[in-house]
Amino acid sequence: MMNGFLHTKREGLIQIGLILGILICLNYLADSFIVRLDLTDDKRYTLSEASEDIAKSVMNPITVEGYFSEGLPPQLSEVQRQFRDFLDEYRAYSGGNIEYTFLNPSENEQVEQQTQQKGIQPILIDVRERDQVSQKRAYLGAIFKYGEKQEVIPYIQPGAAMEYTISSTIKRLTAQLKPTIGLLDAGGSATLQEMPQLAQVLSQQYEIETLSGLDTTDVPANIEVVLVVRPTQELSTNVLKALDQHLMRGGKLVYAINRVNTNIQAGQASVLNTGIENLLAAYKTPINGDLLRDVNANSIGVRQQRGMIQFVNQVRYPYLPLISNFGEHPISSGLETVILNFTSTIDLTLADTTIKVTGLAFSSDRSGTARGFFDINPFQEWQESQFNERHLPVAALVEGQFNSAFADNDSVFVPMKRSSKTAYVVIGDGDLVVNGSGEQAQMMPEDNINLVANAVDYLADDTGLLTLRTKGITNRPLEQIEEGTKTTIKYANVFVPILLVIVYGLFRMQRRKAQRRAWLEKGV
């Protein structure tokens, strides 16, 4: 069996040397070429083409210092492993220009203090030891260094879009200048202070300039995208003309507009006119003066009083739709649920063949609209006939060449009456990214922020990274089903297994009888 192997001492040494050489070569190849099997449906552990290009563009060394505590629960320890695996891939594509080291800040007090001074702050986690639960400080952060610049990631959240975090950090470090976007400050529109979540996300990639003087000036030429969020008053003709001419020059815009003014405490609602609706109507994609209602909706807390007792009752409210039906486009890719607040629908049927309209978000297949008279009482009796429409658009991307809204207005002079090829995004809810201020401030759903941030990225031609923003652990909500279907499934779960057991028992009984007859016939 061993003929030819270790037949002589010299041959044995040669063959052992060959085996060692093969093992060394395999180890080198394994270190140089990363092969991982990614079975997730969105390939969240595989670098995208955009990330590969960013890694390949790194010409000078980037050093990553990872700060991770040891002895963490499995779900947190997994963050460190995933972070290391991603860095291995970035290092391979960068030709070795991305290197990393890992430190344990919990090693001693001096190291922990130095870590906090660098901007990495601990989080408190519950740890079970010997049947007792205690709180422990844990570190899950990193620092990226590139020449004299550095970026601190204080906390890498489990399940977050880790590839987007790494790629966007590298891109910010290596970029010479940030693009500039503008936020309209006119007509009571939302300010940056009222949108801290969106401001925090956008400020990582862009310089944000407040546009407050459009009554007398045009949109500055360096502004790539203008955000118009929730104006509450009628805008002047000069402001509307400035926005119109920005589009005519090839500039991009994001319109998040309330078309109906609502007051749920008073139970009142009325159509709101700011002038933006006239621009959008001229571009053939008007926001309708209606309110969307949807069976798939969020709940609202309504204060009630019975006798001397006051309490808050949670009521499902169709005017707060949960949007989970999205179009196939990079702006809406990866989004799962956007929560809107008194949103209006968008008419996408008027655009001609020269304009490309892409629906980004739609209502469910059990929805409807209220027009003219708005009854927004949360305790009203909802009728099935109020939800007989489906897939009504509430957000859209519009691309093409547009006629100026003032092209046929002799009283308003505009230098440009026809645009070059450009685009804008329109959303029928102006509050979807507004946190508010003071005691009224509230956290907005992450996908609300992602929808607007992705729109800005796409319009600013940063299409490589926007699809990575929502690439992470996904939420899989249960699908809403009819009561009759629920009953059928319930009884099927009870009786089908019993029926299968009975059928199998009858089959076994008949088989045994057949065997017995065969034995008797053979005289066994």
Task: Label each residue of 406-446 as H, E or C.
Answer: CCCCCCCCCCCCECCCEEEEEECCCCCCCCCCHHHCCCCCH
- Token digits for 441? 């401030």
Can you name the residues that pair with 263 across neighbouring β-strands? 268
Q: How far is CA 51 from the centre of its chain?
A: 18
Domain 179-466: top CATH class: alpha beta
- R_g of the chain computed on alpha carbons: 31
Domain boundaries of the chain, sorted by first residue: 49-172, 179-466
Contact 154, 120 (CB under 8 A): yes
pLDDT of residue 129: 67
Element (H, E) at 487: helix 483-522
> Nearest-CA neighbor of 374 among 339, 340, 342?
342
β-pairing, 252-256 with 422-427? Answer: parallel
Among all chains, which residue has been given the structure tokens 């027009």? 371
Using CA atoms, how far apart are residues 201 and 160, in angstroms rounded to an integer?
14
Using CA atoms, how far apart are residues 274 and 430, in angstroms rounded to an integer?
12
Task: Please state at what angle helix 196-203 crosses helix 446-459, rounded to 10 degrees.
Answer: 40
Using CA atoms, how far apart are residues 134 and 257, in angstroms rounded to an integer?
48
Burial class from Cβ neighbours inside 10 Å (0-12, 13-18, 19+) for residue 307 reads exposed
Using CA atoms, how far apart are residues 367 and 318, in angstroms rounded to an integer?
9
Contact 323, 337 (CB under 8 A): yes
pLDDT of residue 379: 83
Kindly report the CA angle at 466 between 462 and 471, in degrees rounded to 5? 155
pLDDT of residue 355: 94
Residue type, 489: I
Fold of 49-172: Glutaredoxin (3.40.30)
Largest separation between any pair of C-alpha atoms in the chain: 112
Three-state DSSP class for 474? coil
pLDDT of residue 1: 45
Contact 93, 52 (CB under 8 A): yes
> Nearest-CA neighbor of 474 among 38, 40, 36, 37?
40
| 524 residues of the chain, pLDDT tens digit each | 445 555 567 777 777 888 888 888 877 666 555 555 555 555 656 788 888 988 998 999 999 999 999 888 888 888 999 999 999 999 999 999 999 999 999 888 888 899 999 999 888 887 776 667 777 888 999 999 999 899 999 988 887 778 888 998 998 888 878 899 999 999 999 999 999 999 999 998 899 999 998 999 999 999 999 999 999 999 999 999 999 999 999 999 999 999 999 988 788 899 999 999 999 999 999 999 999 999 999 988 777 666 677 767 788 899 999 999 999 998 998 899 999 999 999 999 999 888 999 999 999 999 999 998 898 988 888 999 999 999 999 999 999 999 999 999 989 999 999 999 999 999 999 999 999 887 778 999 999 999 999 999 999 976 566 667 666 545 555 555 666 777 888 888 888 889 888 988 888 888 888 888 877 777 65
Three-state DSSP class for 211? strand
DSSP letter assigned to residue 217:
S
**Residue 255 CB partners (closer than 8 Å, separation 6+):** 228, 276, 280, 424, 425, 426, 427
